[in-house]
Every structure is written in structure tokens, then in C-alpha cells.
């Protein structure tokens, strides 16, 4: 028994929206407000599926939408957030006023993704240490991993997931073979070195909740790594470090959040990468938890030694002192190279490579 379709598809119009349809929909929503999408088409006199109406309204008809090209600043934010939360387009979009998840997703897939892939392919050749370390981490931590969405998809009769387990946990497995139309950023590759070993993801852990995989197969799997508050409430991006809390949507690399414990396999090179990117506070307009709230919920702990806050779920923390984000990406305008045309991707890769070499040397010296 499958789920009932969202609407009776017979007789419904599909495809592009005509201007008059847009007008009808807009007028109806202006008069009656959003919601009740299923019944809306009927009341508005539209031969459309309710979901289609909702999508059309959200993505194109809303008054507060910002049209036009994605600016460089917006692109920066998208790349940074994607490095942190992967394909969670709605969450990314929530930090870009006037932009929709669909728009961002399309922009990523058509613009950023390709550039980044080329870059990372170049860069990955120079990162055997990273990938090897990542593989070790992945293998060691994959044990007892969560069930993913894909297996469930293959076997739809599989048991349902508990409600307090995040949607992420019910989606794709962390490691799997799948085809992909996109690739993740070098940034993500760098930070993608471990995932929390506990079942229940916390907000804080999500920042670190990534692993290395085949870049050609990576993007689709990103969706599986999600974060939700302890009770499944709205989500928020939080940092592993609290004291430099910023206002608004500031995105700042954070310093180290603790000491490595019992991790002989990872040198300083690894340590730095581990927390290469985190955000002090990215707000969730839907009212998600902040780090402080996370603390109150016990999702983050205070590290006695360092006097800093750390995520309970993060099994490793970073020695960011050794290996800063700026070192890797070349400073504040780290994404500028990303915006360059494809011709300069070689240069970009070289930049990254140089940064890696630099850090390796530092590590050796240490």
C-alpha cells in the first residue's frame, strides 16, 4: 500500500505556468493567505496540483523574492554554508533573504558545482594525506552507522525510523555508491574528515558531520547528513565556539575548540582540517536553537581544560592553532578564487596545494 497521491492528477495541468495562472494564484493568496495548498487550486480556479501552486508561489510569485543574479556575496555565503550543511538548500536559503531553496540549488548545480569539482579534482591529487586519513576515520567510525534513505528506498517495507531520529538519519547512508550530477567543494573535502559516532546528531555536530568520499558520488549523499535539535525542532547552524558570537548572519572561521584526545592517527595536519570551518552563528529565521540554547539542552559541553564549549557529539576536536582556515583558503577572500572562470581553476588548485604544503611543513616543524 503506497501513500495516497497528494492530489488527483487526472485533468490537472502540468508544466510551465501561464501568466493568467500566476495572476489567479497571486490574487487568491493575497486575498486568503497561504496554506491549505491542497484545496487552494480548487478555490482559486486553477487546474493545478496544490504542491505545484505552493512551489510556484514560494519560488516565483512571493513579493519578497529577490530576482536577478546571485551576487558575489551571496555566492560566498552559499559556498560557505554548503561546506557546512551540504545540500540543505532551505537552510541555506533561510540565510539569504529573497532567495529560495530551489534557486540556490539550481545555482549550485549549474554554476558552483562544476567549478568546485574541477578545482577539487586538481587539489585532491595533492592531498593523499587528507584522503588517507579520512578513509581511516571513515572506516573506523562507520561501524554502527545509521540506516540511510537509500536502503529504505530499495526496501520500502523496512522499519520506520523513530521520530526523534533526524530525517537525516533516515535518508542516505554515509557511504554508498551512487551516481551524482554534482560535486562538493574542496572546502568540504577538507573538513570532511569525520563524522560523529553517536546515533543522534546534534546541531553542533552537524558542522563536523562529514566524511570523505568519491567526489563524483558525493553530493547526493550530502542530504543524508542533517541536523535537528534534540527533539526534532527547528534547525540552526551553530558553532563549536561560543565566545565570539556574532550578530546577524556573520560567518566566521572559529578557533580551536579543544584538544585532541586519544587520536594517534591524526597529526596536526588532520587536526586543523577537522574544524576547518565552523560558523559562530547562522541564524535560523524559523527560530531554531542557538548555541546557548544547545548548551542549555546539554548538547554541548564545556571543556574544562580549554575553558571552551564543545559539542558532545563531536568525537574529535580541533587544534585549529596549527592549521587555520585562512591558511588553507588563503585569507578572508578565500572564495574569490572560486568565482574565477574555469581558466583559473588550475591556479586555484595550486593555491590550495601550496597552502597544504605550507601546513605540512608547519606540521613537520611542530
Partner DNA sequence: AATATCAACAACCGCACACGG
Partner DNA sequence: TCCGTGTGCGGTTGTTGATAT
Measured in degrees and rounded to the nearest 5, phi and psi for residue 225 equal -100, 100
Under the binding rule (CB under 7 A), the answer on residue 50 touching DNA is: yes
Considering the complex, what minimum distance in angstroms separates the CB of residue 52 from DNA? 3
Considering the complex, what minimum distance in angstroms separates the CB of residue 275 from DNA? 22
Considering the complex, what minimum distance in angstroms separates the CB of residue 53 from DNA? 8
Identify which of 103, 31, 6 has the alpha carbon closest to the alpha carbon of residue 60: 103
Under the binding rule (CB under 7 A), the answer on residue 101 touching DNA is: yes
Considering the complex, what minimum distance in angstroms separates the CB of residue 100 from DNA? 9
Under the binding rule (CB under 7 A), the answer on residue 157 touching DNA is: no
Distance in Å from the first CA to the final CA of the chain: 62
CB-wise, 8 or 305, nearer to DNA? 8
β-strands 281-282, 308-311: how paired? Answer: unpaired
Write each residue from 200 to 219 as x if it is in contact with DNA (CB under 7 A), else as -, in one continuous string: -------------------x
All three cell numbers of 206: 552537524
Whether the CB-CB separation of 50 and 39 falls below 8 Å is answered with yes
Under the binding rule (CB under 7 A), the answer on residue 88 touching DNA is: yes
3-state secondary structure string, 209-228? Answer: CECCCCHHHHHHHHCCCCCC
Whether the CB-CB separation of 193 and 134 falls below 8 Å is answered with yes
Stretch that binds DNA, among 45-53, 131-139, 292-300, 302-310 (CB under 7 A): 45-53
138 torsion bin: left (phi>0), alpha (psi -120 to 50), beta (else) = alpha
Write each residue from 265 to 294 as x if it is in contact with DNA (CB under 7 A), else as -, in one continuous string: ------------------------------
SS3 for 282? strand
Stretch that binds DNA, among 13-21, 125-133, 256-264, 307-315 (CB under 7 A): 13-21
The count of residues interacting with DNA (CB under 7 A) is 67
- With cell 572546502, the residue in question is 187
Residues β-bridged to residue 149: none
Under the binding rule (CB under 7 A), the answer on residue 180 touching DNA is: yes
Cα–Cα–Cα angle for 101, 231, 37, rounded to 5 degrees:
45
Query: Which of 27, 42, 43, 51 touches DNA (CB under 7 A)?
Result: 51
Query: Which of 62, 220, 245, 360 touches DNA (CB under 7 A)?
Result: 220
Stretch that binds DNA, among 167-175, 195-203, 253-261, 268-276 (CB under 7 A): 167-175
Considering the complex, what minimum distance in angstroms separates the CB of residue 264 from DNA? 34
Query: Which of 24, 44, 54, 271 touches DNA (CB under 7 A)?
Result: 54
CB-wise, 96 or 228, nearer to DNA? 228
DSSP assignment of 91-140 equals HHHTTSTT--HHHHHHHIIIIIHHHHHHHHHHHHTT-HHHHHHHHHHHHH
Any alpha helices (H) in 125-217, and if so which ranges?
A: 128-142, 149-154, 186-191, 203-208
Write each residue from 116 to 155 as x if it is in contact with DNA (CB under 7 A), else as -, in one continuous string: ---------------------------------x--xx--
CB-wise, 152 or 273, nearer to DNA? 152
In angstroms, what CA-CA distances link 122 with 167, 296, 335, 359?
Answer: 34, 43, 16, 18
User: Which parts of this chain interact with DNA (CB under 7 A)?
Assistant: 2-6, 9, 13-17, 35-39, 48-52, 54-56, 59-60, 69, 87-91, 101-103, 105-107, 109-111, 114, 149, 152-153, 156, 160-161, 163, 165-167, 169-171, 178-181, 219-220, 222-223, 226, 228, 232-233
Amino acid at each position: 500500500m503506497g501513500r495516497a497521491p497528494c492530489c488527483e492528477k487526472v485533468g490537472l495541468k502540468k508544466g510551465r505556468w501561464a501568466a493568467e495562472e500566476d495572476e489567479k494564484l497571486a490574487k487568491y493568496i493575497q486575498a486568503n493567505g497561504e496554506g491549505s495548498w491542497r484545496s487552494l487550486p480548487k478555490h482559486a480556479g486553477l487546474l493545478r496540483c496544490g504542491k505545484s501552486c505552493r512551489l510556484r508561489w514560494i519560488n516565483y510569485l512571493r513579493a519578497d523574492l529577490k530576482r536577478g543574479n546571485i551576487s558575489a556575496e551571496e555566492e560566498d555565503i552559499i559556498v560557505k554554508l554548503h561546506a557546512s550543511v551540504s545540500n540543505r538548500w532551505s537552510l541555506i536559503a533561510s540565510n539569504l533573504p529573497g532567495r529560495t531553496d530551489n534557486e540556490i540549488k539550481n545555482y549550485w548545480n549549474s554554476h558552483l558545482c562544476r567549478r568546485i569539482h574541477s578545482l577539487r579534482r586538481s587539489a585532491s591529487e595533492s592531498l593523499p594525506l587528507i584522503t588517507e586519513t579520512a578513509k581511516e576515520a571513515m572506516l573506523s567510525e562507520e561501524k554502527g552507522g545509521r540506516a540511510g534513505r537509500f536502503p529504505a528506498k530499495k526496501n520500502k517495507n523496512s522499519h520506520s525510523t523513530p521520530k526523534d531520529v533526524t530525517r537525516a538519519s533516515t535518508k542516505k547512508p554515509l557511504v554508498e555508491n551512487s551516481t551524482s550530477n554534482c560535486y562538493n567543494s574542496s572546502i568540504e573535502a577538507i573538513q570532511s574528515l569525520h563524522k560523529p559516532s553517536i546515533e543522534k546528531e546534534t546541531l553542533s555536530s552537524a558542522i563536523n558531520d562529514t566524511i570523505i568520499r568519491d567526489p563524483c558520488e558525493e553530493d547526493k549523499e550530502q542530504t543524508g547528513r542533517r541536523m535537528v535539535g534534540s527533539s526534532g525542532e527547528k534547525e540552526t547552524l551553530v558553532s563549536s565556539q561560543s565566545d565570539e558570537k556574532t550578530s546577524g548572519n556573520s560567518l566566521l572561521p572559529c578557533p580551536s575548540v579543544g584538544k585532541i584526545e586519544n587520536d594517534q592517527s591524526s597529526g596536526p595536519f588532520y587536526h586543523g582540517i577537522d574544524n576547518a570551518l565552523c560558523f559562530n552563528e547562522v541564524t535560523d529565521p524559523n527560530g531554531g536553537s542557538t548555541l546557548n540554547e544547545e548548551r542549555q539542552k546539554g548538547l554541548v559541553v564545556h571543556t574544562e581544560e580549554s575553558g571552551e564549549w564543545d559539542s558532545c557529539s563531536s568525537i574529535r576536536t580541533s587544534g585549529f592553532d596549527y592549521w587555520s582556515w585562512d591558511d588553507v583558503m588563503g585569507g578572508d577572500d578565500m572564495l574569490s578564487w572560486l568565482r574565477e572562470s574555469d581558466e583559473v581553476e588550475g591556479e586555484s588548485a595550486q593555491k590550495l596545494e601550496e597552502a597544504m604544503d605550507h601546513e605540512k611543513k608547519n606540521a613537520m616543524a611542530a
